[in-house]
Amino acid sequence: MRYINTGRVIAAQLTTPAENPLLTDGSRLIDVWFGGEAVRKQLFKKVTKAEQEAFAESLLARGFIRSGNLLLDPSAVLFAEMEHEIVGGIVTVGFQDNGKPVELKVSGKAFAELCTMLAGS
């Protein structure tokens, strides 16, 4: 049993058997970026399919944007830059303890959705 405080999550990458054939429905992965004074990343191993799907649904209910298997909180975005409409863009969600930016790549569609959401807020 595990508990992940979704209120502190600013991004999550879900890994399924489609991305990694060594995984099964009982041993999936979730990479989670937590916000705060510094952005920290944590890998959760051996998450079941049901746990992974419930986690994703809770983040989507909070208004996260989906880009493939990446879920991103629009309110965590500090700045974003489009590389190309087809390729997508880079989104900065904070900085690590060492001062380096935490940058996540999103698809062109997700980038456009993000920009629309941020422009309206």
**Rounded to an integer, what distance in angstroms lies between the CA atom of residue 56 and that of residue 63?**
11
What's the burial of 6, exposed, middle or buried (CB within 10 Å: 0-12/13-18/19+)?
Answer: middle
Mean pLDDT of the region 2-16: 92
pLDDT of residue 116: 85
pTM, two decimal places: 0.89
pLDDT digits (tens, 9 = 90+) for 52-107: 999 999 999 999 999 999 999 999 999 988 887 778 899 999 999 999 999 999 99
Residue labelled with tokens 């799907």? 53
Structural domains in the chain, CATH included, are 6-120 (2.40.50)
Mean pLDDT of the region 26-37: 93
pLDDT of residue 71: 96
Specify which residues 65 forms β-bridges with: 72
DSSP string, 24-89: -TTSEEEEEEEPSSS-EEEEEEEE-HHHHHHHHHHHHHTTPEEETTEEE-GGG-SEEEEEETTTEE
What's the burial of 57, exposed, middle or buried (CB within 10 Å: 0-12/13-18/19+)?
Answer: exposed
Residue 2: pLDDT band with limits 50, 70, 90: confident
